Amino acid sequence: MSTDLTASGARDVFEGSDAAGSGGGDSGGMPEYVLTRKRMKHLRMTVKAPHGTVHVSAPVRARQRDIDAFVMSRRDWILKQQKVAVEMPVPLTAGPETERLRREMRESVPPLMEYWADRMGLEMPTLTLRRMTSRWGTCNSVKRHVTINLELGRRDPELLEYVIVHELAHLYEPNHSKRFYAVMDKYLPEWQAKRRELNRR
């Protein structure tokens, strides 16, 4: 089982009746958002760097007014997340920086992963380093293969370490179950603080 799950669906851009193209400014209007309808039970929202674009996933049969109300109820949160998003570094693109990070991480990541695999009583999995747009890392527990986002080369080493431990923990438990979090607590007790720091950036 892979922990890197994606879904697709029709996408539309919506502006609430009060937005006037403001994109969620301080006027109090509806933030602009991109809507994707999927086979799901609950509404979900993310704010993505580098422009702070708001993405809403909604059940296929969800009413538009309910979606708008959901977005409007989280307007303050959206504004805070957009401020964080626009301050984040520009995402990696193919080029000299990416290749430099790939060379550096080919040297630094395998020994660190081998250290943690040994400490956690695991065989060293196969490893891929690549640019990723929505995950810090993935783990295919069947193929015993871990992928690490090259973007982590720009972050503090302890945050790379957190992602490595997180993905290795999926070799014990593919899902984010109580057992998975027990593994995290055992080997990296401060993992929650590291996750918060990583997701703030």
Residue 31 token pair = 């933030």
Average pLDDT, the chain: 84
What pLDDT was estimated at residue 133? 81
Distance CA 75, CA 108 (A): 41
- Tell me if the pTM is above 0.75: no
pLDDT digits (tens, 9 = 90+) for 83-138: 877 766 667 778 899 999 999 999 999 999 999 999 999 999 999 999 988 789 99
pLDDT digits (tens, 9 = 90+) for 140-152: 999 999 999 999 9
- Band of residue 5 on the pLDDT scale cut at 50, 70, 90: very low
Domains, the chain:
11-87 (no CATH), 96-200 (3.30.2010.10)
Mean pLDDT, range 28-52, rounded to an integer: 89
Bond before 31 cis per omega within 30 degrees: no
